[in-house]
Chains A and B, each alone.
Chain A
């Protein structure tokens, strides 16, 4: 049973081919990484999956259902969640509200219930508050619930973004460079977190990452993109020994 099925996905910006013939099949529980130099089209793939852009060509299916043409919030409600390359928390809002916003599609009451404070509102709102606090508790952030999110230290903001993504109850989590800007100790902790949430929330994870330590450490399968095209695919060991990859990507760091 394939969870995510992407076939011949292509996207052009003006005349520029950002993504070309991208194929991917994700089985439930997998942890796959996409790597590649800057501008290789990795984030564009995420934007295509989540409906921010509509692809020029290709198919994207989640559990056999077509995703193309749906609005981002519909796609998210079907079980895909993501984080962002640069942190995109709701800065002026509290930690708790950041997580509660992600309950939007599962709030379980109408605007009339809300406006008039009907019993359904009270009941469901209690549930949302409890679930959000529980999630924050898991991430060790329950005590920060009322803090304004922009005041959190960087590492905490990254964690909050992951927590917020999980609040939408995804089956597939897309992480866009979660280790960016972290020091080695934080990276170590992040790797544990990713593996832990995968187990605890039964997630399938697709990861974009620049730090080779993270990719080689936790990914089971790696896809390498360059100029929008897939140039290699395989296990970490295979990728590390692939001459094209060394030239296009690892070569940069080696040199």
Chain B
């Protein structure tokens, strides 16, 4: 098989080959339930990190309230599977519930997009923070869905293969978005918002699309999270959760999908590994919670762009955007112009 073939189909083949493993490995106990759980968390965290990276890393806006979007997705999806959908149809309607959660979160994202027209930077950070707090407060005051006690009764619908599929969908959509006209608009807002408008970018449109898309993804992750834990309460979605997302984004690398995957994976593994280590040496588990903020501080001081900041793995770049493809285009253009006068 030649290189062209692998370039085009290699990644898809690998992803297809892994898929049966995500069903079979947990099914036949080849990986134990704990590993299965950690893998699912990694997947959910990848979705969350991609979501936050779109806003904070690519667009250069600043959200510290993404746990709010996650909460909306989690609650909406859970309410649907527990109250509305017949139990037997649960597994089949699960994607519908997740999508509904994502859409609900997306609508909330629309609400955050509007203040971002006028304010940015730390002021927008406060807006998103207030949003996060309000969501939590509203959930605590809605007794019908459990109030501060939380909501339960969901079946364990979040399987490894579902997480796998949603991670692929997320990364695929995000990649398509980032490497498009809209994605370039997003980048231009990060670089220089005023110049962006002055080269014809409709900055409001870009902000709305990005916030809605990002919130949608966070909502999906929330739904998956809820159907893994089978229990959610408003305290699961505080600023602490948002901070975890920030750590993953700035650890892996801003403005990078590869970085998001890396950041989520490393962070999840480190936090879980720490659990075992602390247990072994007999230190209280509460010290785990000190690690994430400490990582965030050190990252900001020593490596503010993260491991993969502003760079991308080759396999995540669309084929036509890779260097050799651009070279080909360049040659064609040069040839077709022939002797036409060019500026020297």
Chain A contacts to B: CB under 8 angstroms: 50, 52, 71-73, 76-77, 81-82, 84, 88-93, 96-97, 100-107, 109, 111, 114-117, 121, 125-126, 128-130, 133-134, 137-140, 142-143, 145-146, 164-165, 167-168, 193, 196-197
Contact = CB atoms under 8 A, between A and B. Distances in A.
A117 B202 CA distance: 21
B263 to A, nearest CB: 19
Given A133-B333, A142-B333, A121 B180 contact: yes
B192 A76 contact: no
B320 A104 contact: no
A90 B191 contact: yes
Contact of B333 (A107, A137, A140, A193): A137
Interface in B313-343: 320, 323, 326, 329-330, 333-334, 337, 342-343
Interface string B294-330: 0000000000000000100000000010010010011
Contacts of A121: 180
Given A104-B181, A116-B176, 4 more contacts: A73-B201, A77-B200, A88-B194, A137-B342
B188 A72 contact: no
Contact of B195 (A90, A92, A130, A145): A90
B288 interface: no
Contact of A101 (B185, B194, B209, B344): B185
Contacts of A100: 181, 184
Nearest to A102: B199
B202 A140 contact: no
Contact of A193 (B191, B194, B320, B343): B343
Given A114-B182, A134-B333, A145-B330, A101 B199 contact: yes
B177 A115 contact: yes
B277 interface: no
A91 B191 contact: yes
B196 interface: yes
A19 B334 CA distance: 46
A97 B190 CA distance: 14
Residue among A50, A142, A164 facing the most chain B CB atoms (10 A cut-off): A142
Nearest to A71: B197
Contacts of B310: 92
Contacts of B194: 52, 72, 88
Given A107-B181, A111-B182, A143 B320 contact: no
B251 interface: no
Residue among B182, B199, B204 facing the most chain A CB atoms (10 A cut-off): B199
Nearest to B208: A111
Given A137-B342, A140-B343, A145-B326, A72 B198 contact: yes
Nearest to B336: A134
